[in-house]
Amino acid sequence: MKDLLSWDQTLFKDSELFELDHVPEHFLHRDAQMQSLMFSIRPAFSGARPLNCLCSGPPGTGKTTAVTKIIEEIENHTSKVVPVLVNCQVDSTRYAVFSRVFRKLMGYAPPTSGVSFKKIFGEVAKHIAEEEKVLVVVLDDMNYLFYENEVNDVLYSLLRAHEIHPGARVGVIAVLSETGVPHILDRKVESVFLPDEISFPSYTLEETRDILSNRVKLGFYPDVVDSDVLDRIAGYTHSLGDLRVGIDLLKRAGLNAERHARKKISVEDVESAYEKSRLVHLSYVIRSLKKDEKVLLGLVADMQEATSGDLYEKFHSMTNLGYTRFYEMLNKLGAVSLLDADFTGKGSRGRSRIVTLRYGADEVRKRL
Ligand SMILES: Nc1ncnc2c1ncn2[C@@H]1O[C@H](COP(=O)(O)OP(=O)(O)O)[C@@H](O)[C@H]1O
Ligand SMILES: [Mg+2]
């Protein structure tokens, strides 16, 4: 009996650490990115306009964590610099972004009806100029501003606030979840944005293991996770490239072990958790796709083992997009681990590929 848990025992020392919105105390392997961010922000501390930044990398590489920590640092340091975190998935229009900024600056929401964008914008610019504050707007998951075609308006308004209101100092930290397809800004926006680019590459297998090992140490009681179990979890996480998978796996495997009243997580606990945890990645990636990419993914789900030629025909008839775009999207969906495309060596364009989903068609359709 000594290897079994009694009903009121738990393996989790701190279960909060396995929630995906938890901000980790130890942010490992991201020193260079944190330093670059601090460097860009620094001018704001002496009242000047900060350098703009563009943070980009695949999902689950610590981008949101990094900007959240920078915001904390700024807020601990001074009230003269006001950072505003905008989650563009929620606030995806120029109006919504500026309402969010307004709320942070004034401490109350702008009136919900009958107020023009121009009015909100004017109040924001006037406030920071008069109070001599420097505004730092963090646009997290800026991808969503592209989908809504609002990105140029948002950036242009933020970055030219000082022309409307002399003395209004604004910097932008943009965060892009990068998925293979370039996000292109209007030339006139590009020329005022000029960001320092900060890249968040996928973690290596060793880094992944190290980060997860740290989470284990803080979140579980000693000896709950043996090193072969950790290896397995790190391997799965690395193969999907999204740290969320590993954190979710730890949580589910821990709950599985508890359900069986075991004092240790076994490899089987990990195996049975994986089917669910990999869907964390699936949901996350599908949410970040563009409309046409979703159309293509839906087609792959419906057609099962399609050749790329057949896929292209259907895709073209639905979207009117050409082969180059199709091909880019196919590669992108492969790069984010949604599908496999194997070369068969035949086909009218020399190389035709068999395209298959890496997830169950139903799981994919449910999320489209
Ligand atoms: N270097 C790291 N150290 C500790 N935890 C990390 C690290 N990078 C990411 N995480 C964790 O992984 C999850 C996803 O990170 P997040 O910053 O949201 O990624 P992104 O915004 O790039 O998609 C979060 O739960 C976060 O706590
Ligand atoms: Mg994020």
Instruction: Among the bound ligands, name the one nearest to the CA of residue 89.
Output: 2
**53 and 180: one domain?**
yes
How confident is the model at residue 143, as a pLDDT?
Answer: 87
Is a pLDDT exceeding 80 seen at residue 8? no
Residue nearest to atom 25 of ligand 1 (CA): 20
Q: Chain centroid to CA 245: how far? A: 13
pLDDT at 344 over 60: no
173 and 213 co-located in one domain: no
Residue 239 sits in a domain of what CATH number? 1.10.8.60
Q: Evaluate whether residue 13 is within a structural domain.
A: no
Same domain flag for 282 and 329: no
**Rounded average pLDDT over 30-59:** 96
In a domain, 76, yes or no: yes
Of 229, 252, 286, the one marking the end of a domain is: 286
Same domain for 91 and 176? yes
Domain span including residue 324: 290-367
Ligand nearest to the CA of 178: 1
Ligand 2 geometric centre to CA of 141 (Å): 6
Same domain, residue pair 114 and 184: yes
pLDDT at 108 over 60: yes
Q: Domains in the chain: how many in total?
A: 3
Environment class of 115 (CB within 10 Å of its CB; exposed 0-12, middle 13-18, buried 19+): middle
Collect contacts of 120-124 with beta carbons under 8 A, ≥24 apart.
120/95, 121/157, 121/161, 121/164, 122/164, 122/165, 124/98, 124/161
Q: Which strand ranges, in their side-by-side order, compose the sheet holding 353-357?
A: 306-307, 353-357, 339-343
Q: How high is the pLDDT of residue 227?
A: 97
**Given 175, 199, 223, which residue is the final one in a domain?**
199
Highest mean predicted confidence (pLDDT) among 101-105, 145-149, 278-282: 101-105
Q: Which residue has the higher pLDDT, 336 or 247?
A: 247
Q: Residue 251, Cα to own-chain centre: how many angstroms?
A: 20
pTM above 0.85, yes or no: yes
Nearest CA to ligand 1 atom 17: 62
Same structural domain, 251 and 230: yes
11 neighbors 224 (Cβ within 8 angstroms): yes
Measured in angstroms, how far is the CA atom of residue 367 from the centroid of ligand 2?
A: 19
